[in-house]
Every structure is written in structure tokens, then in C-alpha cells.
Structure 1
Amino acid sequence: MINFSKLRLKVMAIALGLTSTISFAQSAIEVVETPQEEKKKIIKVQCFINGKIAPSNLAFGRKDTELALKTFPFYERDRKEKKQLFVQEFDVSLLRDGKKIANQTIFGSGSISYLASMARNEDTYLIQVKEVFEKTKDGTLKPYARGVIKLAYLFYDLDVFKPTLQGNAISANDVK
């Protein structure tokens, strides 16, 4: 009887070993059969304010109102193919202490003077791009990448700190 139970344990161990091997092989086949996901497309975004590249200090002033974005492909093969990328619309929000004060949608490029009129020092402009398009050879736009690209710029009005001359100025002749 002892031999029978040992034999039975060996058969069960072999059977369990085979089932785990078979199930592993099946899951491996399933992984191979699933289509490979398309790689994420990485994009470079450049912000232009009043026709110039946004300052490296990441701060806009009250007079910085004309906003435009330019996008470039990140991968070398896309740059070699000279793919032209465009942002049709993007959102600009004015944040104060982490809370949204106002926002607007800009189509292509446009003015944020409405937001600048409400901005205070140390507020933040949050620019969000949700979709980038590629211009095809026939001139149509097709989706290139979807997702959210966020750019943040600090608002700081330096005009507040400029000294103003008063009407009570002292001339050199008045000093004795």
C-alpha cells in the first residue's frame, strides 16, 4: 500500500508539473499573438511670446500677450522625413495659489491679454496641448499624437517696481 501511495504522489506531481508547463506555454503564445503597441510619440514644444521664443526665466509680464506654439518631432527618423507638426488649439489657464482664476482656448495663435489683465505677480499661466497634428503631402491634417502636454510660466509684472517721478522734484538750485 505504501508503494501505491508513493506512485500516486509521483503521478500527481508529474501531472501538476505538466499542467503548469502547458499553461505557461499557452500564456506565452497569447503574449506573442497580441499586436505590439505603437510607441508613444514624443514631441518638442516651443512657446513664442510676442513673436519671440519665450524667455528662459519662464516668466511673462503684463505686455507679453501674443502667444503661439511651435511643435517638432522628437525622433530623428521623423525629423529626417521633415514631418510638419501643428497645434490647432490649446488651453491657457491663469492659476492663483493653485486654483484656476480664468482660462481661454486659443486656436493656432492668439492674444492672452484678457488673462494678463487679471494676472497678479506670482500667478501662473498653464498652457495645455491635447492633440498635435501632422500636415500630410496633400495639405490635410491628420492626428499625430494625443495626450496632454503642459507648459507653465510665472506671471511677474516688473512695471510695478519702476519708480515714478512726482511733481515735487527738487532741482539742483534748491540744494544749498
Structure 2
Amino acid sequence: MSSKKFFIIGLSGTTNSGKSTLTSMLQSAFPHAFTMCQDSYFYGPDDPRVPLESQGFQNWECLGAMDMEKMVAHVNSWMAKQESNKTPALLIIEGFLIFNHRQLSSLFDQKYFIKVDYSTSAKRRVFRTYVPPDVPGYFESVVWPKYLQNLEDIQDQTQIEYLDGSKSLDDLYNQLVQGIKAVLSGDKKNNS
């Protein structure tokens, strides 16, 4: 067993790839794990810090739409509290841009990214409720192009393990549980 005081796992992916659902499922395998969701750090709909696209849409698909300084401060605070641990603590952070924020990305012991294709993501997004709600054309004009741009931005991070989001949630869950257990036991080394 490792002498580390804590481990931090990052779970990212395409919009509507199952990140939140899988994070909830992982709590059954790791009941003492603490979880953090990047969505909790979005600015409000009327906040002028949310960038505007040329079409007039607010761009919720970028780091500028979130208070990332606050998120990193919360992660750092959590890490500081773990220094007196007798057994290692586990933090699972999920969010679609967690690897794009380089300071946050440097803190992960293991990184997972779930990929789904355009049509799967678009079909799933119809069933989600967003605040503010998606305006017509937002997925095609902003969400998917920004996803491709954000994905390109993390290609230099070779330690990200990409998962096939077309697999069942149970298969993805089992793959994640095995991977996280390997990290916790020291069988999987951090490459970041």
C-alpha cells in the first residue's frame, strides 16, 4: 500500500457521456470517497464573466464560464485536510473541462476521459435540463465545436486513459473500479 495521504481521480469526457452517473455509481465501490463536480463552479446565467460567442450565445463550454480559482482552492483545501490521515483518502473529481485547466490537471493521480460520438451526445442532451436552457442551435454551433477544440487542447497529456462511451454503464463502472483500485494499491503509476 502506498504511503500517500490521498489520491485524486479525474473523470472527464464528452458532454452527456455519463460522467455524473458514473461518479455516483463509484460511491458504492468507494463509500468513503469525497466527490467534486465541476458543474458546481459555473457562474450564474446573468454573470458578465460568461463569454459570448459571435452568434450572441453565452459560451458555457469554456473555462471562462466557471470559477476555476475557487474550484482549485477547494481541492487544495481538501488536500491540506488529508495530511493527518492514517489511511489514504480518495477524491473523485468529475467535469468536462477538468483536464483543460492545467493547474487542476496536474493534481490528478489518474485521469479518465469518456468519449461518445456526436449523435449519441446530441440525443442524450435533449433529455437534460440546463440552466439556462439550451437555445436552438446551441449544440451544433457551440457545444460540439468547443468540445472538439477542448479535446484537442488536452492531447499533449499522454497519461489520460480514454474510455469508450458506447459501452454500457456497468462495463464502464467495472473498468473504472478496477483502474482506481490499481491506483490505490500502487499498481498503477501516475505518469503526469
Q: What TM-score does the superposition give when structure 1 sets the normalisation length?
A: 0.23
Greater percentage in helix: 2
Greater percentage in strand: 1
Q: Highest Rg: 1 or 2?
A: 1
| Higher relative contact order (CA closer than 8 Å, sequence separation 6+) | 2
Q: What TM-score does the superposition give when structure 2 sets the normalisation length?
A: 0.21
